[in-house]
Amino acid sequence: MKNNVKITRIKNSMTQEQLARQVGVTRQTIGLIEKGEYNPSLQLCINLAKSLNKTLDELFWEVDTQ
Amino acid sequence: MKSWISFLLPDDEYKEKKMLYFFTEGAIILFLSLIVMMICNKFFNLDTETVLLAAIAIFLFYVTGRYILAGMEYTDIATKHAYKKELRVICIRTIGFVIIFMALYLIFINIPSSLNNWVEILGLLISVSVVSFLSSYISLKRSYKKNKELL
């Protein structure tokens, strides 16, 4: 699943490790979510959105640009 | 989700999901192997102890093997420095295990009386240490490779 987690994290000057600690997962899990190789649970999506001060839409909603 | 298996699962949701897959795959392979052994038992006389041991080994080797190869044990190892540091920890842990095991064996069991007994105990100790070291090493290497790609 494509998402804006990586770009938002970088904009917030956070490392993968810091974000992982805030939401209670491992750094590997954050890396996998950013690469779109793992679809997080709704609870984890909410925790990520809260940590990054964004809405779920801003982080995970795919807009078709075609 | 509440289940009695929860105590065996990691807190991280990705690891938890993967482990559930490994346990399920292991259980299905175990089930199929038991059916195969049941059919084989019609043609050859299989010893009960062998069948039970094989069943346990199949499940344990499968789940452990998948866990090691998945590269999810060392989730924070993503730099060369951290990799080398962790490798040193694995080496020290293996050497520590050898020394402590040997010391406890000599103190509480007995000092091997013949060359054969020495070979037996050292052989066992070295085999266990090598398997333990190799499994940790492979897991570390796979984790490092996976984490590097995710940076």
Round to whole Å and give the CA distance between B147 and B149.
Answer: 5
Residue B44 lies in a domain: yes
Kindly give, in sequence order, each residue whose CB lies less than 8 Å from that of residue B9, ignoring residues fewer than 6 positions away: B15, B16, B19, B20
Contact state of A38 with B147 under an 8 Å Cβ cutoff: no
Residue B96 lies in a domain: yes
Give yes or no: residues B98 and B129 share one domain: yes
Give the pLDDT band of residue A63 (cuts 50, 70, 90).
low
Structure tokens at B28: 């299905």
Domain hosting B99: range is: 80-150
Q: Which of B69, B91, B110 is the last residue of a domain?
A: B69
| Dihedral sign, Cα of residue B119, residue B117, residue B97, residue B148 | positive
| Contacts with B78 from chain A: Cβ below 8 Å | 27
Residue B45 lies in a domain: yes
Give yes or no: residues B84 and B146 share one domain: yes
Structure tokens at A33: 């979510």
Round to whole Å and give the CA distance between B48 and B61.
Answer: 20
pLDDT at B6 over 90: no
Domain boundaries, chain A: 5-57
Contact state of B147 with A29 under an 8 Å Cβ cutoff: no
Round to whole Å and give the CA distance between B120 and A41.
Answer: 51
Does this complex have an ipTM over 0.90?
A: no
Round to whole Å and give the CA distance between A34 and B147.
Answer: 12
Residue A45 contacts residue A56 (beta carbons within 8 Å) = yes
Contact state of A31 with B147 under an 8 Å Cβ cutoff: yes
Q: Which of B44, B69, B94 is the last residue of a domain?
A: B69
For chain B, the domain total comes to: 2
| Contacts with B14 from chain A: Cβ below 8 Å | 25-26, 28-29, 32, 38
Give the pLDDT band of residue B8 (cuts 50, 70, 90).
confident
Cβ–Cβ contacts within 10 Å for residue A2, how many? 10
Kindly give, in sequence order, each residue whose CB lies less than 8 Å from that of residue B18, ignoring residues fewer than 6 positions away: B70, B72
A:5-64 residues touching chain B, CB 8 A cutoff? 16-17, 24-29, 31-32, 34-35, 38, 40-41, 44
Distance (Å) from the C-alpha of residue B110 to the closest C-alpha of chain A? 45
pLDDT in tens, A4-30: 899 999 999 999 999 999 999 999 999
| Contacts with B150 from chain A: Cβ below 8 Å | 16, 28, 31-32, 34-35
Give yes or no: residues B121 and B85 share one domain: yes
Best residue of A23, A26, A35, A39 to probe chain B, by most B CBs closer than 10 Å: A26
∠ CA(B124), CA(B130), CA(B110), 5° rounding?
A: 30
pLDDT in tens, B94-132: 999 999 999 998 888 888 888 888 898 899 999 999 999
Cβ–Cβ contacts within 10 Å for residue B41, how many? 12
| Contacts with B143 from chain A: Cβ below 8 Å | 28
- One-letter amino acid identity for B108? F
pLDDT in tens, B14-48: 999 999 999 999 999 999 999 999 999 889 888 88
Homologous superfamily (CATH) of A5-57 is: lambda repressor-like DNA-binding domains (1.10.260.40)
Round to whole Å and give the CA distance between A61 and B57.
Answer: 45
- One-letter amino acid identity for B77? I
pLDDT in tens, A42-62: 999 999 999 999 999 988 887
Q: Which of B45, B69, B93 is the last residue of a domain?
A: B69
Residue B56 lies in a domain: yes
Give yes or no: residues B8 and B52 share one domain: yes
Give yes or no: residues B103 and B42 share one domain: no
| Contacts with B13 from chain A: Cβ below 8 Å | 25, 29, 40-41, 44
Contact state of B151 with A32 under an 8 Å Cβ cutoff: no
Round to whole Å and give the CA distance between A47 and A57.
Answer: 13
